[in-house]
A = this chain, B = another copy of it.
Amino acid sequence: MNYEEAKIKFISTWGSLGTLWGINKAMAQIQALLFISTKPLSMEEIMEELQISRGNTSMNLRQLMDWGIVTKELIPGERKEYFTTEKDVQELARIVAKERSRREIKPVIKVLNDVSSIEDDGTEKTKELIKQTKALHDLTETADAMINKLVNQQQNWITKSLLKLFT
């Protein structure tokens, strides 16, 4: 596998993994491209590399900026805007976890809490609904808290020693 092949493989794999971290394909591919680029890229360059339209590139870059993963880089003397992504994987993971928690997990926790707090009318089905949604609420909340805590540890040693703890 040469450089070009590896690059294409990486971008397309990372793109299809997008769903796993809750973003769409083009968004993930743009991020992947910037992630392995040695310099900031212009919209033109991104469009060219990924063979996507100007509109698509613009919209997805904005989303990536909303997430806080990509930033505009103004190059002196250049009219065009250039873009870079966070290059540190730990920081990237931290941002993604935080955003997903805020956008998706927290609202679900709220609903689970509401549902599990309905009045117990004494029927078996109500008891079951309360019991099960309560269990789901607690699990989701714990998992969310843990992931955020974990991912917030800047030092890698915590991760390593934790891993050892469970081996």
CA A13 to CA B121, docked complex, whole Å: 23
Smallest CB separation, A134 vs chain B (Å):
10
Flag whether A19 is at the interface (Cβ < 8 A): yes
Residues of B with C-beta under 8 A to A38 = 124-125, 128
- Secondary structure type dominating chain A contacts: helix
Copies per assembly = 2
Proximity string of chain A (11-39) to chain B, C-beta cutoff 8 Å, 1 when within and 0 when not: 00110010110100000000000011110
Smallest CB separation, A107 vs chain B (Å):
8
What are the 7 closest A-B residue pairs judged by CB atoms, nearest first? A149-B166, A13-B111, A89-B135, A89-B139, A6-B115, A6-B118, A36-B129
25 contacts between A and B (CB under 8 A): A1-B115, A2-B118, A3-B118, A3-B121, A9-B114, A10-B112, A10-B115, A10-B133, A13-B108, A13-B112, A17-B108, A19-B19, A20-B104, A20-B105, A35-B136, A36-B129, A37-B128, A87-B132, A89-B138, A89-B139, A142-B163, A146-B150, A146-B166, A149-B163, A153-B166
